[in-house]
A and B are shown apart, each in its own frame.
Chain A
Amino acid sequence: MSRRWTNDLSRADATPEHLFLNRRQLFGALGAAGLGAALPMGARAQDALEPNSFEEITSYNNYYEFGTGKTDPVKNAHTLTTDPWAITIGGLVEKPGDYSMADIVSQMDIEERVYRFRCVEAWSMVVPWNGFELADLLEMVGVKPEAKYVAFETVYRPDEMPGLRYPVLDWPYVEGLRLDEARHPLTLMATGLYGKPMPNQNGAPIRLIVPWKYGFKSIKSIDRITLTDKEPPTSWNKANPREYGFYSNVNPEVDHPRWSQATERKIGGGLFSRREPTLMFNGYDEVASLYEGMDLKANF
């Protein structure tokens, strides 16, 4: 855990005052819960980015295992059993096996990360996630030198996930990263938001957050992690390779075939909210070096 990450946003990105006030309350609550210890340094830097409200973040979700409507997950996801939970970690690792959530979390440093979240559908949010760096988990299980990619799978439980009845995608949901992306200090395994355990509709109990990529790359309710030497086939890429590339980096210059990606609308602005320009890599310029020499229009 050498390279810590700090925010670089200014107050110019600020949102309405009531959200700002919510945030002050949050820090009070976190402090009282004894979670505050991890916050002071990062919290000050992240203050500049004002998160969406808890209600906004938890009531507008894409989680097709619980339905394709934006409000389906909040209605249906309560049926998912998230405790006990274990992740099967395998493939090119030194210590493969089933790792229980409790076991993993006890060995990780949970911290708060206020990240922009940009959906491929051209809407965005700001979310205060809680979690740990994926790099730390990979270090714990030991990655073999031949490994080049990480594949993730969402849990597959037809009894608990009504959306699986429909062949919207090739279930279970699969996503993947190149190993250097996975090890980047921005890449987070999130276990909660707003200092609370992860709500089911947001991907409880543990999900990935890759803030410089479109939201669908940040797979929810992870059941399996596999280190491989080949690029894993990913769900949206399999469903429609012309529209959803393996990389799916936020890029205002590469349109989705059916809509422009040049602008986005932040959730919570109401009926008359303005669009804002989308930033390259969602504003996380520090990842640019990962793609040096790559044609990001071909590798979209």
Chain B
Amino acid sequence: MLARDAFNRFARRVPTWIVYVALALPAPWFVYLGATGGLGVEPIKALEHELGQWALWLLIAGLTITPLRRYASINVLKFRRAIGLMAFYYVTLHLLVWLVLDVQVLSQIWADIVKRPYITIGMAAFVLMLPLAATSNNWSIRKLGPRWRQLHKATYAVAILGALHFVMLAKGFLLEPLFYMAVVIVLLALRWPQRRRKTVNRERAA
């Protein structure tokens, strides 16, 4: 309990710009490693994978914030926008590496998006993130009102699609992508009971 309170006090004092900077830094570091041989003899695939992995980690981190508050009274809500926007930053870089360094051929890029389901799904997740990233500011929250909350529930779909994208690109039966999918499903499932309870309460009240 004491540790939790201390943590919450500490989190209140940490400025959010530190989170932005800290989360942004791995990307240039990976590019540097890739250019200097630190990512092995096939740096393009390695870079693509690292960036995609960070995007998924941050999507998952974003989804843990509400359950942490609800079930553990740990409050890091003030960092949620930073985490979400940095997830978008990694998804964008991941997409750029795929477009520019990996596939390279424009006609093939479009063919891949249309023909290959795991790429279609990855692209869908990216497109869904665009309005979320564009409205991750105070002005949009004021302007959209309750609709802002509804809109940002699209994060749930983005996380499922992101995890599914990873599951589908695995060759053979691999545990790692299935593990991420399971974590996403658990984090989303944690949101259900309370809503049901609320509905029940409302029905009782009526």
Hey, which bits of chain A sit against chain B, CB under 8 A?
Answer: 55-56, 59-60, 64, 68, 70-71, 121, 123, 166-169, 239-240, 255, 257-260, 262-263, 265, 267-268, 270-275
Contacts and interface: CB of A to CB of B under 8 A. Distances in A.
B174 A68 contact: yes
B158 to A, nearest CB: 21
B206 to A, nearest CB: 51
Contact of B41 (A166, A262, A267, A274): A267
B172 A64 contact: yes
B173 A262 contact: no
Nearest to A125: B41
Interface stretch (B53-61, B70-78, B105-113, B186-194): B105-113
Interface residues on B, range: 20 to 34
Contacts of B111: 260
A121 B169 CA distance: 11
B42 A275 contact: no
Contacts of A68: 171-172, 174
A271 B43 contact: yes
Contact of A267 (B42, B118, B168): B42
B40 A258 contact: no
A6 B105 CA distance: 34
B42 A60 contact: yes
B35 interface: yes
A263 B35 CA distance: 22
Contacts of B169: 258
B105 A263 contact: yes
Contacts of A263: 105, 108
B67 interface: no
Contact of A262 (B45, B108, B168, B175): B108
A233 B96 CA distance: 40
A271 B34 contact: yes
